[in-house]
């Protein structure tokens, strides 16, 4: 079967590998659709800041093989499978920091989510990492579960009830998802900032205010003027670009918060005036990944169909053409969410 791996030193390669076979407490899923995440793109560079470089963590498929001891799942059922699951018994898991669990990044799909078939471990099955899909959610829509769950986890760290203005740095798929969730939660004003004209226009069509990135102090002041002269209550940095973080400090109000959402490159050092943070009571939060709590919430949102998340998908490529898919997602000339399918669509 075919699977996609990071090529050295950069890019991806499609290889032929052996098909997986489950042990008694495992299942094998035949991938149907898998979304490309911004972190997948970053994994193809030597500066990726996290540990695993395994590609494809937004896979949707149907169960192809079931281990002899498995109950509750059967062949041909449509499922979404999360790539990481926490243990739910350690100190971190008992203190609402499940994605910091020591075993979280140690478990994964084998060989990866971007493969014709992948093995799902007993740990994933036992700890809520496999979600059955209702008929009301298409395969393509279900591939949005994981990134949407990450957005839910990030915004849950903030008290949106008292927030009037949010600025989101980065108008890519997760930037728009954060914006849709914030607006749905009652935030009065959501502003998207991105250098990509296509993505700004996409955000504008969805009803959001859009601005270009800040390049100087005069523009910084003008953005604060746009935000009632005081600055934003919350800035979500939905990009790994460190300049976006620096800019976010300049547009935040006193007592405001910043959420680091995008994955920064390794060794992304910045210089911060601690007296400024202290005197203005600036809070800096970070949010990494998601758990079954958020993935189930994401699935429910998609099934409810109140928010138009599915419109974010603009391109799909066959698994054999994954290299083209990665280029399309990286260049983003006319692309939002790019997905890879395991069979050619008519």
Q: What is the pLDDT along the chain (346 residues), one digit of tens a residue?
A: 999 999 977 789 999 999 999 999 999 999 999 999 999 998 888 667 677 789 999 999 999 999 999 999 999 999 999 999 999 999 999 999 999 999 999 999 999 999 999 999 999 999 999 999 999 999 999 999 999 999 999 999 998 988 999 999 999 999 999 999 999 999 999 999 999 999 999 999 999 999 887 665 555 556 777 777 889 999 999 999 999 999 899 889 999 999 999 999 888 899 999 999 999 999 999 999 999 999 999 999 999 999 999 999 999 999 999 999 999 999 999 999 999 999 854 3
Backbone angles phi, psi at 135, to 5 degrees: -65, -20
* Claim to verify: residue 270 and residue 316 sit in the same structural domain: no
Residue 141 lies in a domain: yes
Range of the domain at 61: 2-149+289-341
Residue 346 lies in a domain: no
CATH of the domain at 220: 3.40.50.720
Two tokens at 346? 């008519």
* Claim to verify: residue 72 and residue 36 sit in the same structural domain: yes
The model's pTM: 0.95
Q: How far apart are CA 158 and CA 232, in angstroms?
A: 14
For residue 197, give every residue at least 6 positions away whose Cβ sits within 8 Å of its Cβ, in sequence order, or none: none
CA distances 293 to 82, 104, 129, Å, are: 12, 15, 10
For residue 36, give every residue at least 6 positions away whose Cβ sits within 8 Å of its Cβ, in sequence order, or none: 58, 325, 326, 329, 337, 338, 339, 340
Q: How far apart are CA 264 and CA 165, in angstroms?
A: 24
* Claim to verify: residue 51 and residue 90 sit in the same structural domain: yes
* Claim to verify: residue 8 and residue 114 sit in the same structural domain: yes
Two tokens at 208? 């959001």
Q: How far apart are CA 53 and CA 5, in angstroms?
A: 8
Where does a domain end: 244, 259, 286?
286
Which residue, 46, 123, 32, is CA-closest to 83?
123
Tell me how many degrees the CA angle 294-177-200 measures, rounded to the nearest 5: 165
Query: What CA dihedral angle connects 31, 303, 261 and 181, to 10 degrees?
Result: 160
CB 259 within 8 A of CB 154: yes
Q: How far apart are CA 209 and CA 256, in angstroms?
A: 20
* Claim to verify: residue 129 and residue 173 sit in the same structural domain: no
């Amino acid at each position: 079967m075919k699977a996609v791996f990071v090529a050295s030193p950069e890019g991806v390669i499609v290889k032929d590998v052996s098909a997986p076979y489950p042990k008694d407490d495992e299942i094998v899923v035949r991938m149907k659709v898998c979304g490309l995440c911004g972190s997948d793109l970053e994994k193809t560079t030597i500066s990726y800041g996290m540990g695993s470089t395994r590609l494809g963590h937004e896979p949707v498929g149907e169960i192809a093989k079931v281990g002899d001891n498995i109950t509750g799942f059967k062949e041909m059922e449509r499922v979404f499978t999360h790539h990481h699951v926490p243990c739910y018994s350690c100190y971190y898991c008992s203190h609402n920091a499940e994605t910091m669990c020591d075993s979280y990044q140690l478990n994964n799909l084998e060989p990866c989510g971007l493969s014709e078939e992948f093995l799902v471990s007993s740990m994933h099955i036992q700890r809520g990492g496999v979600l059955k899909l209702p008929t009301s959610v298409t395969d393509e829509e279900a591939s949005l579960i994981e990134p949407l769950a990450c957005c839910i986890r990030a915004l849950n760290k903030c008290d949106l009830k008292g927030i009037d203005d949010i600025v989101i740095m980065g108008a890519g798929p997760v930037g728009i998802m954060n914006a849709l969730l914030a607006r749905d939660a009652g935030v009065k004003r959501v502003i998207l900032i991105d250098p990509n004209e296509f993505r700004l226009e996409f955000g504008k069509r969805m009803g959001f205010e859009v601005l270009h990135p800040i390049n100087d102090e005069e523009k910084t002041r003008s953005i604060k003027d746009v935000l009632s002269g005081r600055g934003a209550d919350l800035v979500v940095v939905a990009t790994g670009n460190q300049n976006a973080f620096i800019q976010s400090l300049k547009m935040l109000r006193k007592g405001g918060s910043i959420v680091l959402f995008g994955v920064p490159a390794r060794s992304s050092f910045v210089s911060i005036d601690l007296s400024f943070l202290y005197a203005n009571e600036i809070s800096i939060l970070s949010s990494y990944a998601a758990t079954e709590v958020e993935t189930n919430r994401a699935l429910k949102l998609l099934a409810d169909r109140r928010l138009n998340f599915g419109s974010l998908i603009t391109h799909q490529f066959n698994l054999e053409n994954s290299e083209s898919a990665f280029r399309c997602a990286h260049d983003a000339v006319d692309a939002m969410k790019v997905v890879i399918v395991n069979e050619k669509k008519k």
